[in-house]
């Protein structure tokens, strides 16, 4: 790790460090985000083990008593918040399950932490002195998985569902369009709010639409009116989706927790059982035999949400598909999704789709965290050429255009990096790519 870009990557992380945790970006995202922190901790594990541990420790301070790990933990600050929706809007302070003196949002995010801990354990130089940290984090991650299987998998299919597009991390992906468009907005009922993200000049034109935000706000309002009560929200939420990205990540974390349990000599049985159940659920309910990919499933309207997005391929990461299915997925990804030499891998929405927009947040651009997970997925099946293409493409995007939040897949576009710059997970995963 000696090149100049590695040094720049480290300084992006260091400049976003607040003293307690790392902001995803200097201005657009001023608090601590759940899956961002996982990727960030992994980046630190290459050069600053202490910050890597602090990052995850701080994140789990926000864990609720029922095991839920919030999507955002808000920075203690005075004055007007630069982010919407801030802690005041979420109104989680009355929730008994929430830890006192920590301000959080009221939804979760993809459970990357089990597999992040495993990869961190592989990165650190002194494996022995890392063991106490594995012992410390293990029960917290177990409680998170328990929460998902107890409250979000009521049919015991091994497919915990999400209640908000922000829980998927892929906020305005076309996957959610059908469900979100069904939500009718009554302007008189909707709380008034002001978007702060549009004040960011660099990100403004690529962000989700106002119609998207109305629906995001509608859902938060419903959740807060019901004081985040799991049973009530299970009945009331118009958004209940089983997402192959969220579930593929959970499934890989289960697998990594089994390996970590062996290292610290604790019982791995719950993770073995969860992994078996989830693998079965993915392959029976979410596999789409005609399109050779995994679909999301809408539990409210009882229908598949079949869209050609990156979410459909994340189960490769966890080894869920058989070798035969994985090969079929690869064919689909490289022939249609990744298209040809004119594009960088891997667009968040297939290149040949009518609704694709290469500049719009999760509706086409390339994201480095998705690339890293697809790279790992290809590697585990021995798809070396594909893995190398994803790795090299990701490194090239960053070295040419900087540590942006997301990138245009078209090689013909000269100003390629979009969203905010100095984006922490692009820096963290650059370090991971360079060192893997
Ligand atoms: C945002 O504010 O754009 C985030 O993605 C919500 O988690």
pLDDT score recorded for residue 1: 47
Distance between CA atoms of residues 128 and 264, nearest Å: 11
Measure 204 CA to ligand 1 centroid, in angstroms. Answer: 13
Residues 6+ apart with CB under 8 A from 412: 342
Whether 166 lines ligand 1, by a CB cut-off of 6 Å, is: yes
Cα separation, 52 vs 47, in Å, equals: 9
**How many distinct structural domains can be found in the chain?**
1
What is the C-alpha separation between 321 and 315, in angstroms, rounded?
A: 7
The residues that bridge with 298 in the sheet, in sequence order, are 241, 303
Question: Is residue 367 one of the residues assigned to a domain?
Answer: no
**Domain contains 325:** yes
Q: What is the strand order of the sheet 296-298 is part of?
A: 241-242, 296-298, 303-305
Using alpha carbons, select from 381, 383, 152, 169 the residue that is nearest to residue 278: 152
Nearest-CA residue for atom 4 of ligand 1: 166
Q: Which atom of ligand 1 is nearest to the CA of 105?
A: 7
Query: In this structure, are residues 352 and 339 in contact, taking their beta carbons and an 8 Å threshold?
Result: yes
Nearest CA to ligand 1 atom 7: 166
Centre of ligand 1 from the C-alpha of residue 283, in Å: 30
**Within-domain flag for 49:** yes
The SS3 call for residue 48 is coil
Residue among 411, 429, 404 nearest 206 (CA): 404
- Best mutation site among 108, 109, 166 for ligand 1 pocket (most ligand atoms within 8 Å of CB): 166
Residues of the chain with pLDDT under 70: 1-2, 78-80, 339-340
- Which CATH number is 144's domain given? 1.50.10.10
171 Cβ inside 6 Å of ligand 1: yes
Quote the ligand 1 centre to 71 CA distance (angstroms): 9
> Nearest CA to 35 among 196, 162, 155?
162
Contact 134, 260 (CB under 8 A): yes
Mutating to test ligand 1, I would choose from 171, 194, 418 the residue with most ligand atoms within 8 A of its C-beta, which is: 171
Q: Is residue 346 part of a domain?
A: no
Would you name the residues annotated as active-site residues?
171, 405
Q: Looking at residue 339, what is its pLDDT? A: 62
Is residue 403, in this structure, part of any structural domain at all? no
Q: Point out the ligand 1 atom lying closest to the alpha carbon of residue 208.
A: 3
Look at residue 42 in the predicted model and tell me its pLDDT: 98
Q: Is 71 in the pocket of ligand 1 (CB under 6 A)?
A: yes
Structure tokens at 266: 């604790």
Q: Does 6 reside within a domain?
A: no
- Site to probe by mutation for ligand 1, drawn from 23, 25, 28, 29 as the one with most ligand atoms within 8 Å of Cβ, is 29
Condensed to tens digits (0 to 9), the pLDDT of residues 48-75 reads 999 999 999 999 999 999 999 999 999 9
Minimum-distance ligand 1 atom for the alpha carbon of 171: 5
CB-based contact 52:41 (threshold 8 Å): yes
What's the rounded Cα separation, in Å, for the pair 274 and 432? Answer: 28
Q: Decide if 259 is inside a domain.
A: yes
Q: Where are any strands of DSSP class E within 93-187?
A: none
383 CA distance to ligand 1 middle (Å): 33
> Residue 80 has what pLDDT?
59
Task: Output the CA–CA distances (angstroms, integers) from residue 83 to 87, 92, 109, 173, 418, in the order listed.
Answer: 9, 16, 18, 21, 19
Structural domain harbouring 58:
29-333
Number of Cβ atoms within 10 Å of the Cβ of 345: 24
In a domain, 167, yes or no: yes
**Which ligand 1 atom minimizes the distance to the CA of 33?**
7
Give the torsion sign (CA, 57, 62, 65, 71): negative
Q: Could you identify the atom of ligand 1 that is nearest to the CA of residue 71?
A: 7
CB under 8 Å to 128, separation ≥6 — which residues? none
């Amino acid at each position: 790790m000696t090149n100049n870009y590695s040094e720049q990557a480290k300084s992006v992380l260091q400049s976003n460090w607040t003293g307690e945790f790392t902001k995803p970006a200097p201005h657009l995202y001023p608090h601590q985000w759940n899956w961002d922190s996982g990727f960030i901790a992994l980046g630190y594990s290459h050069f600053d083990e202490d910050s890597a541990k602090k990052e995850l420790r701080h994140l789990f301070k926000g864990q609720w008593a029922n095991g839920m790990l919030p999507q955002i933990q808000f920075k203690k600050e005075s004055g007007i918040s630069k982010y919407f929706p801030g802690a005041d809007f979420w109104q989680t302070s009355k929730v008994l399950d929430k830890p006192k003196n920590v301000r959080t949002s009221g939804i979760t995010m993809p459970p990357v932490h089990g597999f992040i801990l495993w990869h961190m354990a592989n990165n650190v130089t002194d494996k022995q002195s890392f063991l106490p940290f594995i012992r410390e984090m293990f029960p917290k991650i177990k409680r998170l998985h328990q929460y998902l299987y107890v409250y979000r998998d009521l049919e015991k299919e091994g497919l915990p569902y999400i209640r908000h597009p922000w829980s998927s991390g892929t906020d305005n992906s076309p996957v959610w369009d059908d469900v979100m468009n069904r939500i009718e907005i009554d302007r008189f009922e909707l709380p008034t709010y002001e978007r702060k993200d549009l004040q960011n000049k660099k990100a403004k034109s690529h962000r989700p639409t106002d119609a998207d935000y109305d629906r995001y706000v509608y859902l938060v309002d419903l959740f807060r009116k019901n004081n985040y009560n799991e049973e009530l929200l299970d009945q009331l939420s118009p958004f209940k989706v089983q997402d192959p990205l969220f579930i593929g990540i959970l499934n890989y974390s289960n697998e990594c927790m089994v390996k970590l349990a062996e290292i610290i000599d604790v019982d791995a049985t719950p993770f073995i059982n969860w992994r078996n159940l989830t693998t079965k659920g993915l392959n029976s309910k979410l596999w789409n035999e005609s399109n050779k990919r995994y679909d999301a499933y809408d539990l409210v309207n009882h229908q598949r949400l079949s869209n050609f997005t990156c979410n459909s391929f994340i189960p490769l990461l966890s080894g869920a598909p058989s070798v035969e299915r994985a090969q079929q997925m690869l064919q689909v990804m490289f022939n249609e999704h990744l298209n040809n030499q004119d594009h960088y891998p891997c667009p968040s929405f297939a290149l040949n789709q009518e609704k694709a927009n290469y500049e719009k947040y999760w509706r086409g651009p390339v994201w480095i965290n998705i690339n890293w997970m697809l790279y790992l997925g290809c590697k585990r099946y021995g798809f070396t050429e594909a893995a190398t293409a994803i790795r090299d493409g990701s490194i090239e995007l960053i070295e040419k255009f900087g540590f942006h939040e997301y990138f245009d897949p078209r090689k013909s576009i000269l100003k390629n990096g979009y969203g905010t710059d100095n984006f922490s997970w692009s820096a963290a995963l650059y370090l991971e790519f360079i060192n893997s």
